[in-house]
Structure 1
């Protein structure tokens, strides 16, 4: 006799079913609609910060702000920035005197003077600048901060040349270049590479033709610079209609002839140590930039552990 299996019906009390249903509802933890909306506004809808802000973009933005702050207002530059001539101020009246700030400067090149400012009997013409020795490809730097007004080529004159305008009417010219490193309208700081040295145009050998002008008047660069000591005579140059063609004749180390310049270069080749006398406002960074060297080298040569300098202190340059 076989026994058939029987199924026993499980009866669950209604109270137990109600309890389980209540537990499931509690586990869902549904938030009020308003709370959900606030939560989305605060977190869910925010974009990834890392994808929106990049370090380089931030640095470029800040650099742009600082550059705008450094750019000086220059009404004459705005007026004549599209003028393609060397002297756009020829129809303006030149003031009898003017003070020009030359405290923040850089030597355009560290080469010695090969030809001074003044009349050249050999060529029967007036030399409106100073020639500085360079090799083709040497870096040429902005003597002062300012705007690039013109980059141009002149086959029978300057060759490739750059004109920078620094403040109202004061400009510097760099001639016989081999390559431009800047473009018209660009703002550059003192010491910025603007070109490479060359032998283009009316030139008998590689050199930099360097001019300093105020409203078209070709100032003797030696009235502003002491080329032998690679510095400016004073922080402010006073332009005067009566004597702007003259060098600073009270400077004991004035470079007034190519003969003396060559003697200076010869001394340098024999190992003469150059020095710089600290002036008010000087820092190691400024001294290094003006003299084509580095802060680290100046510290090493002079045993300087910090950046504190004393007025009158002599700094070895090499």
Structure 2
């Protein structure tokens, strides 16, 4: 399935790509932007979205190459995938099932959601970074969901 994505500050301008949701369901539990951090209980800027998930298969949203994966004290077990100038980031995994340098097709299971890193409960942290700048992934995720209906 192809979906034409236009906008997102030029991230997908005139690009047609096969895209899939990172989870089978899409329930946002914490949005992008300013918030009170649930663990630190002080002002914070959330550079992605948190999606409800508990031991769920996590899939790459587009084809790309694993640029990094491992453990980060904040993100926990994570995977970063390069899609050219765009990078997708998946955090708080129970474990990852991919290795740096590996090429992945859209929809490939890359790990299982979990509660690693700085969290209050199991979920998937999903972020998009375009040329080093974090973007609000909500429009991207809902465009995918709407194309699948």
Specify if TM > 0.5: yes
2:77 counterpart of 1:160? yes
Shift of 1:154: 1.1
Give the alignment partner of residue 124 of structure 1, picking from 24, 39, 43.
43
Q: CA deviation at 1:231?
A: 3.7
- What displacement does 1:98 show? 3.2
The CA deviation string for residues 207-240 of structure 1, in whole angstroms up to 9 with x for no partner, is 000001101110000132217x7246xxxxxxxx
- Structure showing greater radius of gyration is 1
Q: Is the 8 A contact 2:76 2:92 kept in 1?
A: yes
Aligned to 1:107: 21
2:130 paired with 1:211: no
Closer, same or farther: CA 191–116 of 1 in aligned 2, 3 Å: same
Consecutive unaligned residues of structure 1, counting only runs of 5 or more, are 1-96, 233-274, 277-318
Deviations 1:71-100 (A, max 9, x none): xxxxxxxxxxxxxxxxxxxxxxxxxx6352
Q: Where does residue 247 of structure 1 map in the other structure?
A: none
Partners of 1:119 and 1:102 in 2: CA distance: 31
Deviation of 1:102 (Å): 5.7
Which of structures 1 and 2 has the larger relative contact order (alpha carbons within 8 angstroms, sep 6+)?
Answer: 2
**Any conservation in 1 of the 2:11–2:130 contact (CA below 8 Å)?**
no
Q: Equivalences for 1:1-318 in 2 at 5 Å?
A: 98-100=10-12, 101=15, 103-109=17-23, 110-121=25-36, 122-136=41-55, 138-155=56-73, 157-167=74-84, 169-226=85-142, 230-231=145-146, 276=149
In the alignment, structure 2 segments of 5+ residues that lack a partner are: 1-8
**Conserved in 2, the CA contact under 8 Å of 1:179 and 1:197?**
yes
TM-score relative to the length of structure 1: 0.40
User: Is the 1:147–1:186 contact (alpha carbons within 8 Å) kept by the matching residues of 2?
Assistant: yes
Cα distance 1:99–1:127, how it changes in 2: closer, same or farther (>3 A)?
A: closer
Q: Relative to structure 1, is the Cα distance of residues 148 and 230 closer, same or farther in structure 2, using a 3 angstrom cutoff?
A: same
Q: Partners in 2 of 1:113 and 1:135 — Cα distance?
A: 13
Question: Which structure has the highest strand share of the two?
Answer: 2
User: Aligned residue for 2:5?
Assistant: none
What SS is found at the alignment partner of 2:115? coil
Cα distance in 1 for residues equivalent to 2:35 and 2:102? 35
Query: Does the C-alpha gap of structure 1 residues 102 and 126 become closer, same or farther in structure 2, counting only changes over 3 Å?
Result: farther
Runs of 4+ aligned structure 1 residues displaced above 6 Å come to none
